[in-house]
Amino acid sequence: MDFIRDYADWFYLIGAVLFILTLRGLSGPKTAIAGNRYGMIAMAIAVLTTFFVAENPVVWMIVGAMVLGAIVGIARARTVPMTQMPETVALMHSLVGLAAVLIAVAAIIHNNELAKLDIGLLQANGVNFHEMSKVHLFELFVGCFVGAITFTASVFAYGKLAAKKWAKTISGTWVKPVQALIFITMFAAGIHFFLTGNMTSFWAMTGLALVFGWVWIAPVGGGDMPVVVSLLNSFSGWAAAGIGFTLENNMLIVAGSLVGSSGAILSYIMCKAMNRSIINVLFGGAMGGTAVVVDTGDKAPRNHRSGSADDAGFLMSNADSVVIVPGYGMAQGRAQNAVKELANLLKEQGVTVRFAIHPVAGRMPGHMNVLLAEADVPYEDILEMDEINSDFPATDVVLVIGANDVVNPAAKDDPSSPIYGMPILEAHKARTIMVIKRSMATGYAGLDNDLFYNDKTMMIFGDAKKVVEDMTKAINGNGH
């Protein structure tokens, strides 16, 4: 359609504005639905415009890929449980990185094949050919190696989050030298390709980038995976932006830059919430500092106090204020709707109920917010760490559901703890603390939690959903 071709830049501009509005909408739960709609419209404009401005497109291949992708995407979106959402996000990031690599490879092979043909013959057939400039080679160099790193790093993050046996954490003094050697060799091959256009160097750079992505993320501990997922989101955006320059597609440049910058900002916010630098998260793991398994073999057993759901229901129904701290245990038990029902029942009895969210709770950015939104918990009841911490000393009961490091007092009291200095939800300051867990086992980061042994803490063991439902029954008077 000539109309779309003539005004393609205007359509791209409209799409870019909509993508900006998407990010603005996604910055808050109340506007997130509208933000998603803006993004869907922007993507539809981008795809349709690109489809019509492409030179000699292979229609059946493009449409076939779109239909297949839509079928897989819709099926996955409808069936994925919330417990598997973090690894699903990581897997989607890997596909963006792989797309960047494949586009770079296709662009170079296409250019090399055209260079072998007679230029006059190409022009006679309406094909405009210009030898690839240094700028284009640099764009391909950046887009390809960033995409390759993103692909394998995201695949490993997926395996780690999904507890796959092949995604094993590596550690040892050899890790950092190997990482440095692979990176330097990869970069040298990329520079040689950039300067000479040598294809052997290009394939070497791509292969080494794929290896580096795996070796780079493999030492990172499980507790740092939320930051890794956020950073890989940023990388996928920069890879897309780099390829956008190669394809001379302004929309891809804008969209990729927005994803890249927003992911980088989110990674910074999460590192700040952990009192860690991004360098420490990504390279500290090679020294074994991010995934510490506590050895209690030489220590005396620590005593904890346990109780029942009936005890918890009685305490909460007689409280004036309750703060609920959700963690991955709530996602694992799919307990968000049961928690919402418990909160509503307490409110009906005059109890003030609020939810406290730590920036790195769960296994991906915003994991707990998504769960609570799915259960239609009112947005005004959900408070971030900085908003709620000052209220804990005046709180009668704190109910912790599967959270670990984000409420661990060792972060404030124990200088020898790996998480010392990390800002936490100060649940230990409440008058009574109740913790729902399956057992006394350590959490995902492998750290014992001092909160569980606090004199004010009552441990309630069992599946989160079942325990919360029993609490609700107890408050209703049906649990006796």
HEC string of the chain equals CHHHHHCHHHHHHHHHHHHHHHHHHHCCHHHHHHHHHHHHHHHHHHHHHHHHHCCCCCHHHHHHHHHHHHHHHHHHHHHCCHHHHHHHHHHHHHHHHHHHHHHHHHHHHHHHHHHCCCHHHHHHCCCCCCCCCHHHHHHHHHHHHHHHHHHHHHHHHHHHHCCCCCCCCCCCCCHHHHHHHHHHHHHHHHHHHHHHCCHHHHHHHHHHHHHHHHHHHCCCCHHHHHHHHHHHHHHHHHHHHHHHHHHCCHHHHHHHHHHHHHHHHHHHHHHHHCCCCHHHHHHHHHHCCCCCCCCCCCCCCCCCCECCHHHHHHHHHCCCEEEEEECHHHHHCCCHHHHHHHHHHHHHCCCEEEEEECCCCCCCCCHHHHHHHHCCCCHHHEEEHHHHHHHHHHCCEEEEECCCHHHCCHHHHCCCCCCCCCCCCCHHHCCEEEEEECCCCCCCCCCCCHHHHCCCEEEEECCHHHHHHHHHHHHCCCCC
Based on the fold, state whether residues 160 and 246 are members of the same structural domain.
yes
Based on the fold, state whether residues 243 and 165 are members of the same structural domain.
yes
Based on the fold, state whether residues 134 and 178 are members of the same structural domain.
yes
pTM for this model (two decimals): 0.74
Based on the fold, state whether residues 108 and 169 are members of the same structural domain.
yes
Based on the fold, state whether residues 96 and 209 are members of the same structural domain.
yes
Residue 272's pLDDT is 77
Based on the fold, state whether residues 260 and 395 are members of the same structural domain.
no
Minimal CA–CA distance to 467: which of 321, 327, 356, 310? 310
- When computed from its CA atoms, the radius of gyration of the chain, rounded to whole angstroms, is 26
Among the three residues 26, 51, 79, which one is the final residue of a domain in this structure? 79
Based on the fold, state whether residues 460 and 347 are members of the same structural domain.
yes
Residue 336 belongs to a domain: yes
Residue 295 belongs to a domain: no
Residue 245's pLDDT is 82
Based on the fold, state whether residues 313 and 189 are members of the same structural domain.
no
Residue 122 belongs to a domain: yes
Residue 301 belongs to a domain: no
Residue 213's pLDDT is 93
Q: What is the pLDDT along the chain (480 residues), one digit of tens a residue?
A: 667 777 888 898 999 999 999 988 887 777 888 999 999 999 999 888 888 887 777 888 888 988 998 899 898 888 887 677 788 888 888 998 898 899 888 888 877 776 666 555 545 555 554 556 677 778 778 888 889 999 999 999 888 888 788 888 888 889 889 999 999 999 999 899 888 888 899 999 999 999 999 999 888 866 677 788 888 888 888 888 887 887 778 888 888 899 899 888 888 887 877 777 777 777 765 434 444 444 444 555 678 889 999 999 999 999 999 999 998 889 888 899 999 999 999 999 999 999 999 888 877 777 888 888 888 899 889 999 989 999 999 999 999 998 888 899 988 888 888 778 888 999 999 999 999 998 887 765 567 888 999 999 999 999 999 999 999 999 987 444
Based on the fold, state whether residues 15 and 104 are members of the same structural domain.
no
Based on the fold, state whether residues 67 and 132 are members of the same structural domain.
no
Residue 238 belongs to a domain: yes
Q: In which domain, by residue range, is 52 found?
A: 1-79
Tell how far CA 247 is from the center of its chain.
28
Residue 9's pLDDT is 85
Residue that the structure tokens 């008058």 belong to: 431
Based on the fold, state whether residues 266 and 380 are members of the same structural domain.
no
269 close to 281: Cβ distance less than 8 angstroms: no
Tell how far CA 421 is from the center of its chain.
23
Residue 295's pLDDT is 46
Residue 294 belongs to a domain: no
First to last CA, the chain: 72
Residues with catalytic roles: 405
Residue 14 belongs to a domain: yes
Total domains in the chain come to: 3
Residue 244 belongs to a domain: yes
Based on the fold, state whether residues 466 and 422 are members of the same structural domain.
yes
